[in-house]
Structure formats: structure tokens, C-alpha cells
A and B are shown apart, each in its own frame.
Chain A
Amino acid sequence: MPITVNNKEVDFIENETIKLLLKRMHFTFPMIVVKANGKLIKKNEYSKFIIKNNSKVDVIHLISGG
């Protein structure tokens, strides 16, 4: 079963953390907001939070200006 990242299906990988997923997806923007299954994942949790199978992950990059 795949996971969904920004509404696109992506292979599920056992024991993958948010940090590893961001690397796999080549999401290199430094300033982002990540939610997994509706829950906001804090920056200091990226290397600990393991993505479960079937998860819906959203990654939004923030651009300066206001």
C-alpha cells in the first residue's frame, strides 16, 4: 500500500521518518510545514516520527514576503 504525499501516491517504506521522506522527495526548502494524517509534525520530530503505511502527508514550503 502506498502513502500519499501532497496528494500523490508514493511507495511506502518501512521505518521511514519524516526526515528521510523529505530527502527521498527532494524537498529541500528549509522552511516548511509538515502534517501527517492531520497532525502537525514539529521540526524537532522530523527525525523521530515514523510514517505509517497508508498515511497522508502534506508538506508546504513557506516563502518570505508579507
Chain B
Amino acid sequence: MATLKELAARAEEKGELLSGGHRACLGCGHPIVIRQALLAAKEPVIVGCVTGCLEVTTTIFPYTAWRVPFIHSAFENSAATVSGIEAAYRALKKQGKYDKELRFMAMGGDGGTYDIGFQSLSGAAERGHRMLYLCLDNEAYMNTGIQRSSATPKGAHTTTAPAGKVIPGKQQHRKDLTACMVAHRIPYVAQTIAGNWKDLTTKVEKALAADGPSFINVLSPCPTGWGYKPELTLEMGQLAVDTCFWPIYEVEDGKWKLNHQPTEKKPKKPLVEWLKSQRRFAHLFKATDSEELIAELQERVDQDWEELLAKCE
């Protein structure tokens, strides 16, 4: 896997593949993830992206931040769209009309992946198109103004599951999409964060090397939607790992492996640290009757963690 030195040399050679000048919010996790992911690819990459923050902030006509071929068609279908490109690539190669070696990346936010694009993602994975699907999970529909998705954690405030006088934010636990993708028995599935370049680039390299579909779920912190200071994005990603709210792991050919574990020196942090770090959970600490809910959230994280440990044994 590429060292920092190798990645730096690659950056020098290729230049920025996602250029500056895009309109992503200050502190947005997405451009960090994309720049690192594109750098991790040795072969030329074609990118397909759903409608959402990433697409609208990087492709404002007549400008584009993308220095790789990029396609956006709609909200729920980057997996299907890229599967068409990949099929065309195979067809043209087979006929001797194209000879380059390419890699394909489809991407989308949690809304475009967990929710509206779930079917097209599942279909593309089942059909076995060789492509990496990168989910940029910021845990709500941020582009349209922070609405709840099935990736939004229980208890978070969003504009369509707001914290009110009688309802304390979202009432349901989030979907475990990464596990859903493992269930597709594709060659490579992983979770990572914006904020750990080594883990992210290693996983992208492995995913692109897999001879078939691969999926990486990246927790991409959102200062605007979560309510924290923009300079803390990378720390937020790490805190999600340290509290086991977002464990980083990979499943290679069905084999589960944890990529980060709490140690005696650095034990698992209580979830309260995570909850307190963001305004979207602030109501939990203002209300007097939230203790039970906070305990339930901790319990859920503990249970998920134990189950994950068991799978990784």
C-alpha cells in the first residue's frame, strides 16, 4: 500500500484531481475524502456521482473542479449510471475499440446511497460490475438543508426529524448499510472516516484492486449539519472511531478485520463525548429526561461493537 511519500509523489505527478475553487462548505469532509481517494488510484479513474453536496459544489457550470472524467445524471442512480459506463468499457475493449486500463468510482451521499439509491446500488453490486462505490456519509440530507436519512443516528436533530417539546430528534436507529453490502458477498467492503488518510487510501487501493464490485462507507463529518467548528473535521472523524460510534473495519472476501481497536492506554471513549461535541445532539443535554435515551444510544453502540468484534475474531 502506498506510503505518504509515494502518495506525495503521485500528487506531484498527477496534480490535484479535485481542484480548489469548488464551493464546498468550510470544513467539509467530502473534498478531503475525494482528493485522497483519487490519489490512491494508480490507474485513470472515471467518477460518477449522485445529486447532492459533492456534485452541486464541484460542477457549477461553466466550471468544474474535476480533473478526471465525471458524470452526474440523477440522485438515485450513480451505481446504475457507472454500471453502464463499465459495461460500455468492456464492450468497446472486447471489440478492440479501446485499450486503456481504467477504474470506476460511483459515489453518493448517505441520502443517495442508504435511501433513494439503495436499490440501484444493490442491483449493481449483484450484477458484479467492477467498480468502487464510495458512500460519503454525513448522516443527513445536507444539500437540501439537513433532513433525516436512514443514516441519521437516533436522537439527532434534523429539519425533518427535529428536536421538539415532545419528540427529541430522530426516533429510529440508523441502518447498517455496510453490513447490507457485506451481505451482497462482493469482494471488498469497508468502513472508514475522513481524517485517517492511511486507512482511507489503503482501503481505496484494495477496493480498486478487487476484481468485482467494492463498497466503502466513509463517515464524512459535516460542520454545517452536525454543528461543530469547521477546523475540527478530522478530529470528529477520529472521535467517531474512538467512541466506537463508527468503527473502521474491512471485509475482504468475506473475512472481517478491525482496523482500529481501543487499547488499555487508549480505551474506548464514552459516547457522551461524541454526543456533546455536536449541536445536533445539544437538546439531549438540555432536557432533564434524556438520560434514558443517552443510555440507550450507548447500549446500542456497545452491542454493535460486541457483534463486530465477534465477526472479526
Q: Does A pair with B?
A: no
